[in-house]
Each structure stands twice: as structure tokens, then as C-alpha cells.
Structure 1
Amino acid sequence: MASMSLAGAVLVVVLAAAQPARACYSRVFSFGDSLADTGNYRFVFSNDTRAPVLWPPYGETYFHNATGRFSNGRILIDFIADALGLPFVPPYWGGRSAEYFAGGANFAVGGATALSPEFFRRNGAPLANDNTVHLDMEMDWFRDLIKLLCPNDTAGCSDMMNDSLFLVGEIGGNDYNLPFFAGVPFEKIQNFTPSVIAKISSTITELIELGAKTLLVPGNLPIGCVPTYLMRYKSDKKKDYEPETGCLRWMNQFSEDHNKLLVDELEELRQLHPGVTIIYADYYGAAMEIFLTPKKSVSLAKIKDNNRTSTIEYPLVACCGGGETYGVSSARCGRGEYKVCDDPQKYGSWDGLHPSEAAYKVIADGLLRGSYTHPPIANSCPQLTEMVSSAEFKVLYDL
């Protein structure tokens, strides 16, 4: 399967097996949608037993089994937790004991939105499923967990809150995806952004009021580079595409507009809460490294119990699905007569909507070892500097 070829720098990252002397944080608490879900979907929607994410080929690359992650292997939160010296963050609905949550909890659910279904009904864009999980629900679960972890005195959780990292997202993508797929006019969808940002902001404020001291808040990915959208809005007009990437220009601009509003809102929150560290995670910028430098190679540890280097050769193509152009067709990954590529690590997308493990690894490297967190996450976790110094970066040029 061929993809758009672009000449440019090829960055090869070889990471040594190094761990920080101690974890920067005692726990990670995560909120969001399918980009962060580590298994909640199977519990929250237990009646949806035919959901493809619950079965192989999902999870086949790293876990060798479906874990409820919407990818072929590890996702961003897995790489973040590992780099911080913590175990993978367990799904909230997977356990009910304090011991189970010793390393934190993940409240993210595939399909979740920032805003409630009521908001969309009120604004003339009702969701197909009124049971859609949203941020207010995830916050309710978090409050319930606090009661479990601190049964006698919730105020006594202050040390835990101080020492925890709160990952607030990615969230908001489905507030746009679901209306897009339902055929809601783009002009109407654009008007949802201020409300999405306001909900993310109020959630951050609630977490701070509960004692959170360090929050990592992601922006949206460049949705104009998502294969499903590239296929859905395929155009004969050259001006609709970014010449450097082949991504849809107008959709990426929409993502950038969302992210700019979010960055401005986070700056206001910093002014209101000077004792709290609020870090913007530039998922957009980190992901664009894949599309601007399409043959980016990264070390992918522990795959088939052997370190190796994989090259993302097809950044705009889905590995699992079908179709010749972007790897998407009427057959969805895990449903119908779908096809799976021979090597998922060569693809930027897993199923046409979600990044591959290789893409997640590139984004994680950009956040944890690159320049895509503001302020740098290393400021609040100096141990990450040790990992950077133990890594070898080589830049090659494919001219």
C-alpha cells in the first residue's frame, strides 16, 4: 500500500533502558475518551459485547490480546506512566479495592465527550446515544474513588492529591467527531468550541478545589490527518490540502482554533491558581512530527520481547480496515471483511480513527523528551532529565 512520499529529515530515536530513581508522582489520574481509555469501555458498555475494541486484532502488537485500548498496543497514557516510573494506569471500572488503585485510576471511556448529551440536544445536534459518557460523569466517579481511598476523612487525601499527576484529556474530540459523523453543518460545530473549552476549564477548577497540584492538559490532535476524515472529505481541490503533509487544511485549522482557545484558558487558570502547575500538552505539535517527517523512526521496546526500530512509512494510512487510499472503507477494523497490514508499526493510524502504537510513541517522546509541553513537564519532574541524558538521538537526512 502506497502513501504520500515527502523528502525530509529522518529522526531516529534510540532510547536506552533507563528508569528514574523514583517515581515523580505517587499516582496518575486520567480523564478523557478513547485516546486515553485503558479498558473502561468494556465495563461501562458491558452489553456491547460485539464491540471490535474488545477483541483482536486490537491490542495484538504489545499485549497480544485485546485490553479495551483503542489501538494495536500501548497508548499515550501507557508511555507517560512508564516514563514516570509508574505501572500502567488501571481502568476505574476494573476494580473496587484501594490496593487496585495504588498507582492511580483511569476514568477515560471510549466515545466520551466533554459536554453532556443534553447540551447537544439543546443546540440542535442530538447524539445517537444518550448514554454517552461525559466529563461530569467521570468527575462523579473520581469523587467516589476519593471516598474509597480516604473513607474516614477525604481531607486526609491532601498528600495523595499533592503527589499525583492529573491528565485531563484528551477530551473534546468526540464533541466534534460525533456531530461531524451525524452530518451536522461545520458552521454549527464550530460554535461548540467555547462550550467545550469552558467544560474542560471547570473540570480543572474542580480538581484544583479537590487538591490537585499538577495537571497535564492535552490539546486536540490534527484531525485533518485522520484517515477517516481524509476519506470522508476527499477533495479534488489542491487548496484543501496542506502541501507539506497531505492533511486536510480546513480541519487542521479547526483543531488549531480549539487549541488556541484552550491555551488562552489555561493561562487564565494559572493566574487564578498560582500555586498549581498547569501544563499544556501540545498533542497537535507532537503529532505533526509524524506527518511533516513521515519516515520517523522510534525505538519500540518490548515488542515480541525484542527491541527494534520501526519506521512510520504510511503516516496517513490505517493499518486495520480496508481500502487502497487511506486504508479505510465500508469495512471497519474488527467488523466485516476488514484487512490488517503486515506491520502496524509502519502506519500512523491503527483503525482510521485512532493512532497506532508507533504514532503514540512519537507523540509521547515529543511530550516527555521534546518541546511539546508548556511549561516543560521536566520542570515538575526533574527525573525525566535523567532519561533524556540516557537516550541517544541521531538525525539522519534522506535527501
Structure 2
Amino acid sequence: MARIEFLRHMTLVSLIVLILCTTASPIFASKNCDFPAIFNFGASNSDTGGLDAAFAALSLPYGETYFHRSTGRFSDGRIIIDFIGGVFATLIPKEDYFFKALYTFDVGQNDLTAGFFGNVTIQQVKATVPDIINNFIENIKSIYNLGARSFWIHNAGPIGCLPVILANFPSAAKDSYGCAKQYNEVSQYFNLKLKEALAQLRGNHPLATITYVDIYSPKYSLFQNPKKYGEPTKYDPTFMVVYVWISIGSD
């Protein structure tokens, strides 16, 4: 079995373990959390410091604090999990950890976002969703066949609320909260198909515990009820994206 770097995602581990220990879900609610390890498969939403494939290599100021140069990561240098991972760099997990671990997945948003910038229509991007889902499910099956049994799978967030979408597609029709409506509809369609596919996967793999995690709703609620989460800050999404791209091209 291929070696997996143990406890690489400790920041994510802490958050998920807390959720699993306190959630009211009948699947996970218990006094004890018995996962000896958590292995994450995902992009920058679930792996802090990871680089979104939809963007080019990042230049300064990213990386300046620790490396004093560009590192191609969404951080100013090294992050907590780098140091924790270094401590356990030579530790190979016990074999039963692979069977008892929780496997978390956060995929889809990059696939959809990259499609929007691929000189195709929204409908053409939407048409790729079944293939994206099928490939994702096949990967889950592969990991299941290696012994994994507990899966925690995020859906896609409201892509139409991302500054990169709002800035690059300013003519897109907006909903009442300022998000690009059609782009969010693609996210919703992706999530619907993902949920259906996971339901079928559960039926075909009764020994697996597969939890579908709704990330879309709480993220969208930030736009629906901003005052609920603190004093709203006025921002210009165009400025945010322009800053990123100027930074990227400043080398």
C-alpha cells in the first residue's frame, strides 16, 4: 500500500474531529471520536497553502515571511501543518490506521471554475458535471477497495459569489445578494448530482459510512445574512482579483 504522509493535515484534523464529536448527526454523534487518522483529498479549500490549479504560479508577497521568495502557495511561507508534518515525516502509519481512518474529500470547485475560464458557455460547463462526478466516484471506489470505510465528502460552494467570478464576468445576472445567479446554479446542479451519486454508492457499499457535507448553504448564508456574522465590510471584488493578478505578474 502506498505510503501516505501521516497527520499532514493536523489543522484540518482538529476542525473535523471537533465537528464529529459535537454534531447531532445520528451517524457520527457519540462521546468518543475513534478515528486514529484523517486523510484529506482536496484543493486549497481543505489544504491550507495548496495552490489552486486554475491560477498561475504565485509571486511575492506569497512566501516572503519564511522563504523570502515566491513559493507558489496561498500563504506567506510555511504553515502550521508543515512543521507538524516534519515531526512525523519518517513515521509510517500502522496498517490498520488506513482502515480505521476518516477520509475527507473537497473537490469540484476548481473543475467548475476552470471550465468557466475555458472559453466555453455556462451550459457547456454544466454538461461536464456528470463526467466530473463519475470520475470522482471511481476514485472513491478505488480508495474503498484499498480498505477505506469512512468518508466525509464536501459539496461545492456558491461559485457565483467568488470575487474571481464577479470580477471577470461583470455582466452576469445577479441574485438579490449580489452573486452571479447562473454560476451558482451550476454549483447547485453539481451538488445535486453528487448527492445522487453518493446515495447510489451507499447502496452498493453497505460497509461504508458516507457522509455528504453541505458546504454550499453555510457559505451562501454569509451573503444572505452578513450582519448575523458581524459588521459587514464594504469591498470591491474587482480590486481583490486585480490585486491577485498584479501580484502574480510582478516577478
Q: TM-score, normalised by structure 1?
A: 0.46
| 1:38-53 matches, cutoff 5 A | 38-39=48-49, 51-52=59-60
* Uncovered stretches (5+) of structure 1, i.e. residues with no partner: 1-17, 42-47, 60-65, 79-87, 103-147, 151-156, 298-310, 318-323, 339-399
Q: Distance in 1 between matches of 2:63 and 2:124?
A: 36
Q: Which residue is equivalent to 2:196?
A: 264
Q: Which residue is equivalent to 1:70?
A: 74
Q: Distance in 2 between matches of 1:255 and 1:230?
A: 15
Q: Distance in 2 between matches of 1:162 and 1:218?
A: 21
Q: Does 1:100 align with 2:89?
A: yes
Equivalent residue of 2:226, what SS?
A: coil
Equivalent residue of 1:289, what SS?
A: helix
Give the 3 Å change call, closer, same or farther, for CA 163–336 of structure 1 in structure 2.
Answer: closer
CA contact (8 A) 1:294 1:314 kept: no
Q: Which residue is equivalent to 1:162?
A: 99
Q: Which residue is equivalent to 1:328?
A: 240
Give the 3 Å change call, closer, same or farther, for CA 293–268 of structure 1 in structure 2.
Answer: same
Identity between Structure 1 and Structure 2 (%)? 26
Q: Distance in 2 between matches of 1:277 and 1:207?
A: 13
Residue 40 of structure 1, CA deviation: 5.5
Q: Distance in 2 between matches of 1:294 and 1:266?
A: 32
Give the 3 Å change call, closer, same or farther, for CA 183–35 of structure 1 in structure 2.
Answer: same
| 1:133-212 matches, cutoff 5 A | 149=93, 157=95, 159-169=96-106, 171-212=107-148
Q: Which residue is equivalent to 2:14?
A: none
Residue 91 of structure 1, CA deviation: 9.7
Residue 208 of structure 1, CA deviation: 1.1
CA contact (8 A) 2:166 2:237 kept: no
How many residue pairs get matched? 214
Residue 187 of structure 1, CA deviation: 2.7
Residue 175 of structure 1, CA deviation: 1.7
CA contact (8 A) 1:53 1:69 kept: no
CA contact (8 A) 1:90 1:101 kept: no
Residue 39 of structure 1, CA deviation: 4.2
Equivalent residue of 2:212, what SS?
A: strand
Between Structure 1 and Structure 2, the one with more strand by share is 1
Residue 337 of structure 1, CA deviation: 10
Residue 292 of structure 1, CA deviation: 0.9
| 1:213-232 matches, cutoff 5 A | 213-232=149-168
Q: Which residue is equivalent to 2:174?
A: 241
Q: Which residue is equivalent to 1:32?
A: 42
